[in-house]
Amino acid sequence: MSTKHVFQSADGLVLRSLRGAAALNPNIRLHEPSKTVYVVNPPSGARVALVAGGGAGHEPAHGAYTGEGMLAAAVSGDIFASPSASQILTAIELAIATSRRERDCLPEVLLIINNYTGDRLNFGLALERARARYPDLKIDALVVADDVSLLHTDSLVGPRGLGGNILVCKLLGAAGAAGQTLAEIQTLGKAVVDALASVGVGLSHCHVPGRAVPQSEEAASEECELGMGLHNEPGARKASFESADQLIGEMLGMLLQSRENGLVAIAKRPEETEETVLFVNNLGGISQLELGAVVDEALVQLRAIGIRPRRVYASPYMTSLNAPGFSLSLLNVSSIKRSVPSVDVCALLDAPTQAPAWSGVQSGWLHNLHDDRREEALLAELRTERGVVGSSQSEQAQVNGGSYWREADVSIARVEAAIRGACEGVLSATNDMTDFDTVVGDGDCGETFAAGAKAILRALEDQSLEVGKVNPPQLAQVFGELCENSMGGTAGAILAIFFTALATTLPAHAGDPSASWISAPSRALEELSAHTPARSGDRTLVDALHPFSITLGDTGDIRAAAKAAREGAEGTRDMRARLGRAAYVDGTTMKGLPPDPGAWGIAALVEGLCNGWEGGA
């Protein structure tokens, strides 16, 4: 592992790198507050704006893949950390603010997400917020999960996203530039993801500037990390490293034995000349000399079994800082054609793009750069035109809310009592959650829930949240924002998504039927399930949230729903986790373990909500 860097600290490094990426193409700019690189003058024929991103450290992804023919905007988090939902929402707004000048209506938007928990949750929350803020916006997401090294585990997280993500961005970006609709691009994207397989290998780990040298055991000289991910995490297993041809052969074998509808078909039917693409990604620390030899060896072995790729690409497309390693990806072009017969995959790969990091790009100085309006002016114009007043959900809510509670004949004091009761219920359970999480997690669950409860109480005390000025959907929006900004972590993201989805399902008018009230949580739960694989029985906070929502919808009795939440939380005792850090606890030692701390927190929250509501009557 090399620990020497030109920049010895990571402070400010991400923004400086993004400035460099923006300097490579005069048609892209950097919005520094959100760390978003975006296209200034998108092509008028494009109907769909593609937005992608993730943690820094994977450069040139995704900033240098921003440009006509690929991404409309790319957003970056800190090193190996997902961007926040607020950052992603701003990236979405920048993409539509620039595109709308060429059209009378909002463009359609597709989010391309690599399958990591933080990215899934934060992009999912941003998507729900965009839908709530711009009701006429058509927006969807595509998850890239091309890693096949962990296909046979029982983890619900699913395969990770690897370097094949950039192939997806190129294909869909070219389809968008050709004028395809969101539905057409989404269909193509799903076919591409199904036909794409990748596996990575690392000879060692990377080093993050400014961090201490980790004490974790490095692979011995005769070993490598097979199944290496993009975030410096360990590989699927340590493998013997006898020779390059042996290593590459093992990697190709893993690819060809995966994805029944995609890559296995290549190995089964070579005589039918399945068309393929070979995509070799340098993780950052392999010399170009060796990378060329990797390409050659992979082609030699593929041709030996009758596979002759139609296109071959090799470059540092999506790196892991300075990791000495690479990934191999195979794309079954024929499989895509069977799913989407009208698409010419090779033509999309060959289509021109102004994204500077794509191999073979023909770039030059573009015309029509006379518009020098700054990003904030563009965002202000978009938000004002669409009725979004203020830069946050809470500001927007305070402006638009008002007469709901009076018309519904509901006491504002009682609503506030219910909110305070929910927060106090969480605070009373903080120590229990901390104790439980110390056994099965990293010990911060109690503090995380308490931070959210305190933020809501503080908003009530300082009157930055005035219940009498908001209706139920706006109140849920504010809760979602407060959870996102104060809690952090997976729990904060899940609750933020739930409340944001709840904002789109709660009744906005006092005359709406009561049925829409009691069914709103279950409908919000359906939206949440699109962004996390967590379900009842997986030992997460969903084990309490699900029975609460379903029971409320079935009975209309909030006390019965709270009882169901408590029973759900109690039911997680001794339950094996399949998500989160608790999933790494040895399954043979689950007997005698405490309840899931997140589920315990949800049960305390809804019980406190009931107590406050009944006491405030």
Adjacent-strand bridge partners of 75: 36, 53
Q: Please check whether residues 279 and 240 belong to one and the same domain.
A: yes
Name the 3-class secondary structure at 29: strand
Q: What is the pLDDT of residues 46-105, one digit of tens each?
A: 899 999 999 999 999 999 999 999 999 999 998 888 899 999 999 999 999 988 765 667
The pLDDT tens digits for 526-579 are: 999 888 888 888 899 999 999 999 999 999 999 999 999 999 999 999 887 676
Q: What is the mean pLDDT of the chain?
A: 86
In the predicted structure, residue 452 carries a pLDDT above the cut 90: yes
Q: Does position 141 have pLDDT exceeding 90, yes or no?
A: yes
Is 158 found in the same domain as 52? Answer: yes
167 and 94 assigned to the same domain:
yes
Domain with residue 557: its CATH number is: 1.25.40.340
Provide the pLDDT for residue 269: 53
Distance CA 540, CA 436 (A): 13
pLDDT computed for residue 439 by the predictor = 82
Are 594 and 481 contained in the same domain? yes
Quote the distance between the C-alpha of residue 5 and its chain's center: 29
Which residues constitute the domain of residue 222? 198-350
CB 92 within 8 A of CB 32: no
Residues near 169 by beta carbon (within 8 Å), at least 6 away in sequence: 50, 52, 62, 65, 70, 71, 112
Res. 157: pLDDT tops 70: no
CA 149, CA 70: separation in Å to the nearest integer?
Answer: 28
Highest mean pLDDT among 235-239, 358-362, 494-498: 494-498
The string of pLDDT tens digits covering residues 350-408 is: 999 999 999 865 444 444 444 455 678 888 888 887 766 444 545 554 445 567 888 88
pLDDT at 270: 47
Q: What mean pLDDT do residues 197-211 have?
A: 86
Query: Whole-angstrom Cα distance, residue 593 to residue 116?
Result: 27
> 508 or 585: whose pLDDT is higher?
508
Q: In sequence order, which residues have a C-beta less than 8 Å from that of residue 580 and are 6 or more positions away?
A: 441, 490, 540
Find the length of the chain: 617
**Is 50 exceeded by the pLDDT of residue 461?**
yes
Please give the Cα distance from 35 to 15 (Å, whole number): 7
Complete DSSP assignment for 282-350: E-BSS-HHHHHHHHHHHHHHHHHTT---SEEEEE-SS--TTBSEEEEEEEEHHHHHHH-TT--HHHHHH
Is the domain of 502 the same as that of 469?
yes
Task: Tell me: do 343 and 456 sit in the same domain.
Answer: no
Tokens representing 223?
A: 């070993």
Residue with tokens 């056994």: 439
| Lowest-pLDDT range of 301-305, 437-441, 455-459 | 437-441
pLDDT at 397: 47
Task: Kindly state whether residue 572 falls inside one of the protein's structural domains.
Answer: yes
Q: What is the pLDDT of residue 11?
A: 83
Top-ranked range on mean pLDDT: pick from 106-115, 516-525, 586-595: 106-115
Q: Is residue 387 part of a domain?
A: no
476 vs 467: CA distance, rounded Å: 11
Q: Is residue 371, in this structure, part of any structural domain at all?
A: no
Nearest to 143 by CA among 115, 124, 116: 115
Co-location of 325 and 421 in the same domain: no
Residue 255: is its pLDDT beyond 60?
A: yes
Does 377 reside within a domain?
Answer: no
Domain match, 168 and 218 both: no
* Residue 332: strand pairing partners: 276
Confidence band for 441, pLDDT divided at 50, 70 and 90? confident
Indicate the number of domains in the chain.
3
What are 458's two structure tokens? 């503080």
pLDDT band at residue 4, thresholds of 50, 70 and 90?
confident
User: Does residue 254 have a pLDDT over 60?
Assistant: yes
- In the chain, the amino acid numbered 24 is L
Active-site annotation holder among 62, 205, 207, 231:
231
Strand order from edge to edge, sheet including 73-79: 28-31, 36-39, 73-79, 48-56, 108-114, 139-144
Both 213 and 91 in one domain: the answer is no
- Please tell me the distance from the alpha carbon of residue 514 to that of residue 555, in angstroms, as a whole number: 12
**pLDDT number for residue 227:** 84
3-state secondary structure of 277: strand
Of the three residues 145, 177, 209, the one that is the final residue of a domain is 177
What is the predicted pLDDT for the residue at 214?
57
Residues 155 and 212 in one domain: no
pLDDT in tens, 260-295: 545 555 655 544 567 999 999 999 999 999 999 999
Instruction: Report yes or no on whether pTM surpasses 0.75.
Output: yes
pLDDT-wise least confident of 31-40, 180-189, 380-389, 599-608: 380-389
Do 309 and 432 share a domain, yes or no?
Answer: no
Dump pLDDT digits (tens) for 91-138. Answer: 999 999 988 765 667 889 999 999 988 899 999 999 999 998 898 999
Q: Is residue 182 part of a domain?
A: no
Where a domain ends, among 177, 207, 223? 177
Q: Which two tokens stand for residue 398?
A: 């305070």
Instruction: Give which of 379, 403, 402 is closest to 392, Cα–Cα.
Output: 379
**Would you state the pLDDT for residue 361?**
53
Q: Strands 108-114, 48-56: parallel, antiparallel or unpaired by DSSP?
A: parallel
Q: CA–CA separation, 251 vs 259, rounded Å?
A: 14
Please check whether residue 146 is in contact with residue 164, taking contact to mean a CB–CB distance below 8 angstroms: yes
42 vs 31: CA distance, rounded Å: 16
How far apart CA 108 and CA 175 sit, in angstroms, is 13
The reply to whether 189 falls in a domain is no
Q: Could you say which of 122, 146, 177 is where a domain stops? A: 177
The domain that contains 212 carries what CATH number? 3.30.1180.20
Encoded amino acid at 213, one letter? V
CA 232, 234, 236, 242 dihedral sign is positive
User: Quick one: what percent of the chain has pLDDT higher than 70?
Assistant: 84
Residue 172 sits in a domain whose CATH number is 3.40.50.10440
Q: Number of C-alpha atoms within 13 angstroms, CB side, residue 308? A: 4
Per-residue pLDDT, averaged over 514-525, amounts to 85
Inside any domain, residue 360? no
Q: Say if residue 229's pLDDT is above 50.
A: yes
Residue 231 designated active-site: yes
Q: Is the pLDDT score of 438 beyond 90?
A: no
**pLDDT at position 12 over 80:** yes
Residue 271: predicted pLDDT: 47
Instruction: Look up residue 47 and give its two tokens.
Output: 């109907």
CB count in 10 Å sphere of residue 341: 7
Residue 383 included in any domain: no
Same domain for 307 and 417, yes or no, is no
